[in-house]
Structures are given as structure tokens and as C-alpha cells.
């Protein structure tokens, strides 16, 4: 029995009032915290731009094949793999892209966005790169936390363009545009644009090293073409077809658009040329890189002779014997008839890519792939569109040489 009922009543009353006050504050704060921090998992589009790509879903017994030109949606924890004959592009919910080159495998660990519009957490993407080479282009459309996990390091990327390669020797990160941070063995290294770093197994990251130097000027079309790029056009004398070339703004970057309009089944060509006139004799690697988007193509493949593509890259050079030589690579999305030519040689090749999708192309090391006919002196680079009716875009053109 209680000796003081009045004290007990006041105690119960005060406890009830305190509980009410705590709940009156905690519940709104809890709801607010949830609204600000709740995240939702987003799917990722996987497109095969060449060959057959395998996507293994969580809890699935067998991987799903993605054939050339096809796209499927995958959820978190999906694994995507390419072989030596295939390439793929992952497009995340915020338009960030990740390109898988041959013999590459990744796992999408996280792909999340704020659940509510008032959420203040950034979009979050975490990808595990198990092996191979990828090109990453994080977008600036929203706040973004983007991480690449490799067996040796954690790589945090800002808006820009990056190449990351994982092999038995370790991880190499190159910041072409933007800034990156590598963390390994409790040490971190910051990379600015034009720098790269290596991480060997069990070691701290190397100090920033110079990335490949771009031998081209106005490579991103941030300035007018005049004075750097020479423009040329080939049109039928009848005037039935007109060609044009314009710098257009796509997202947060400039691109060059080739276009032909008028009567179909008539040849035309429009392109740009930049004189390089530089020796590459003492370099270890030489690569051509550019982003390509094909919008329209009425002439299938590369024409009957395999020489008319909606985008073609031509590198003119001299070999060690002073001979004039040429390297070509074309892009198309409409397949040709079986009896039409499509070259597949080290010095003259082409590839089919997906329509309407930006494709980041990276050539092999031309100082290796061209063998005894490799370049020692670059004369010029030419990029052009040819065929019948076409519309195509290029961006971020690079001729990268590395000591």
C-alpha cells in the first residue's frame, strides 16, 4: 500500500506529461529524418554495343545474355561481364554512364536516389570492378557520390571522365576530366585532370603521374573550329543534298554534329581535319579516343565498299621507312547486306554501335597493333561523315600519346 497517494498521482502525471513531450518532439523529428535520409534502389540499363554480354541477377541460377544492340534493366547486386568480343554500356538512373571494354566484369553494389524530393542525401552509386577496363562519366545533373571498388583500392569520382583498369598488377586510374581520390592501405591520393595513379596489391597509391598528352587542340569543341580544324564538304553537283556541321551543346559539353539533308541515294561527305605534324617515335603508346552518337543513317554499314560511314576517323602518318600510311575506323548502326564489304584489319576497321547512345571509343595502342607499319610521325587526323542521309555527333576527340 502506498502511504502518499497524492505524491503517486503527481509522479504518474509528470511521467505522462514528459512522455507526451518526448513523443511530441521525437515523432516529428523522426519523420523529418526519414524524409531527408530515405533512399530508394534504382535499376540500371545495360546495353550491349558489341557482341553478347552476360548479366547475372541476384538469386538467379543462370546469367542472362544481352545480344548486340539490346538493353535490359538490372537491379542492385547484378554482375555484368564482357568477353574479348563484346562491350557494354551501363546507364544509371541519373544518366551517369560506365563503359565496359573487353574481358571486363563489374558488380553494381548500390544504385540509389533519395526517396522523397526533400531528401538531402546525394545520389549514390557504388560499382565493384573485379577485372578489366572501364570508362566512367559521372554526371552533374544532381549531387552524386560515385565509388569504384577494386581489389586494391576505393576510388571516389567527381563529375568528369575517367579510365580505370584492374589486372594482376593492380589498379590504374586516369582522370581525363574532373577530380578523383584513391584510398588504399590507409593512404589517399588526389588526382586532378590530366593525372593518373597506380595501386599495386597491398601497397599505398603512387604519387600522381602525368596522363597521356593529347596531341590535338580544341579537342572538346569549346572554341570555334576556325584556325584549328579545317572544314571540308563534298556535295553532289545537282544541289539535291546539302551538308552541314555545327557545334551543339549536349548536356554539359560541346559536340560537333554532322548532318546531310535532301534526296536519298546520293553521296555526300562533310568533315574536319587537324594538322598534327608531330613525331611519336619515342612514345610507348598512341591511342585515338572520342565519343560518338549516331542519330540517322540511310546507307547501311559502310556502303558497298566499306568506306562510307556516318562517322569515320582517319589518321594519316609516316612509318619508320618514311612511307605514307593511313589508319581508319568507322562507326555504323544499320547492318549492311552480306555481300557488302566491312573491313576488319588493324589499319582499317569498323564497328556497329547502338543508335542514339553516346559510345566512348578507345582504339588499341596503335604502336603495338600496327606492328612494323606503326606510326613514327603523325601528319593529320580527319573525322568525317559520309554516305547518303546521315546525322551523327562526336565529342571529346583525343589523340593520346604516352612516354
Q: Considering the entire predicted model, what is its pTM?
A: 0.75
Query: How confident is the model over 44-83, as pLDDT tens digits?
Result: 999 998 899 999 998 888 899 999 889 999 999 999 999 9
Within its chain, how far is the Cα of 66 from the centroid? Answer: 19
- Terminal alpha carbon distance of the chain: 92
Structural domains in the chain, CATH included, are 40-210 (2.60.120.1440), 230-402 (2.60.120)
pLDDT digits (tens, 9 = 90+) for 284-343: 899 999 999 999 999 999 999 999 999 999 999 999 888 999 999 999 999 999 999 999
Q: Poorest-confidence range of 27-36, 114-123, 208-217?
A: 27-36
Q: Hey, which bits of 37-178 come out as E strands? A: 39-41, 44-50, 53-56, 64-66, 71-74, 79-81, 87-91, 97-100, 105-114, 123-137, 144-149, 154-157, 161-167, 170-177
Query: For 178, left (φ over 0), alpha (ψ -120 to 50), or beta?
Result: left
Closest CA to 212 of 179, 182, 175: 175
Predicted pLDDT at 35 = 62
Q: How far is CA 309 from CA 155, 306, 314, in A?
A: 37, 8, 12
Confidence at 31, pLDDT banded by 50, 70, 90: low
Residue 140, pLDDT > 60, answer yes
The pLDDT value recorded for residue 364 is 93
The residue to which cell 604516352 is assigned: 402
- For 202-239, b/e burial (b = at least 16 CB within 10 A) is eebbbebeebbebbbebbbbeeebeeebeeeeebeeee
SS3 8: helix
Listed in sequence order, the residues at least 6 apart from 91 whose beta carbon sits closer than 8 Å to its beta carbon are: 44, 45, 47, 97, 357
Amino acid at each position: 500500500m502506498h502511504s502518499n497517494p497524492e505524491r503517486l498521482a503527481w509522479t504518474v502525471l509528470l511521467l505522462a506529461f514528459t512522455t507526451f513531450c518526448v513523443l511530441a518532439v521525437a515523432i516529428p523529428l523522426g519523420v523529418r529524418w526519414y524524409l531527408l535520409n530515405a533512399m530508394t534502389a534504382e535499376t540500371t540499363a545495360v546495353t550491349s554495343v558489341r557482341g553478347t554480354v552476360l548479366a547475372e541477377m541476384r538469386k538467379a541460377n543462370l546469367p542472362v545474355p544481352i545480344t548486340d544492340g539490346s538493353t535490359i534493366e538490372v537491379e542492385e547486386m547484378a554482375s555484368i561481364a564482357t568477353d574479348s568480343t563484346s562491350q557494354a554500356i551501363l546507364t544509371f538512373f541519373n544518366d551517369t554512364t560506365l563503359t565496359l571494354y573487353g574481358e571486363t566484369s563489374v558488380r553494381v553494389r548500390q544504385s540509389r536516389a533519395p526517396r522523397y524530393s526533400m531528401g538531402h542525401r546525394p545520389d549514390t552509386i557504388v560499382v565493384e570492378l573485379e577485372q578489366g577496363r572501364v570508362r566512367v562519366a559521372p554526371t552533374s545533373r544532381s549531387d552524386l557520390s560515385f565509388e569504384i571498388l577494386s581489389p586494391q583500392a576505393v576510388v571516389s569520382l567527381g563529375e568528369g571522365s575517367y579510365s580505370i583498369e584492374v589486372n594482376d598488377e593492380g589498379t590504374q586510374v586516369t582522370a581525363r576530366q574532373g577530380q578523383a581520390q584513391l584510398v588504399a592501405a590507409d593512404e589517399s591520393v588526389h588526382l586532378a585532370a590530366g593525372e593518373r595513379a597506380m595501386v599495386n596489391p597491398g601497397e599505398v597509391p603512387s604519387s600522381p603521374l602525368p596522363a597521356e598528352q593529347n596531341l590535338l587542340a580544341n579537342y572538346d569543341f569549346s572554341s570555334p573550329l576556325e584556325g584549328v580544324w579545317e572544314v571540308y564538304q563534298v556535295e553532289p553537283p545537282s544541289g539535291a543534298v546539302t551538308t552541314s556541321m555545327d557545334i551543339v551543346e549536349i548536356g554539359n559539353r560541346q559536340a560537333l554534329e554532322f548532318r546531310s539533308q535532301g534526296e536519298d541515294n546520293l553521296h555526300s561527305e562533310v568533315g574536319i581535319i587537324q594538322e598534327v605534324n608531330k613525331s611519336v617515335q619515342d612514345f610507348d603508346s598512341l591511342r585515338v579516343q572520342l565519343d560518338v552518337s549516331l542519330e540517322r543513317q540511310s546507307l547501311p554499314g559502310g556502303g558497298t565498299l566499306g568506306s562510307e560511314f556516318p562517322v569515320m576517323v582517319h589518321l594519316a602518318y609516316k612509318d619508320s621507312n618514311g612511307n605514307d600510311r593511313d589508319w581508319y575506323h568507322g562507326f555504323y548502326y544499320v547492318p549492311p547486306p552480306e555481300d557488302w564489304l566491312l573491313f576488319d584489319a588493324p589499319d582499317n576497321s569498323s564497328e556497329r554501335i547502338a543508335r542514339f547512345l553516346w559510345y566512348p571509343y578507345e582504339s588499341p595502342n596503335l604502336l603495338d597493333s600496327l606492328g612494323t607499319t606503326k606510326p613514327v610521325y603523325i601528319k593529320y587526323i580527319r573525322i568525317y561523315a559520309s554516305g547518303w542521309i546521315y546525322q551523327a555527333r562526336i565529342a571529346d576527340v583525343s589523340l593520346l600519346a604516352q612516354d
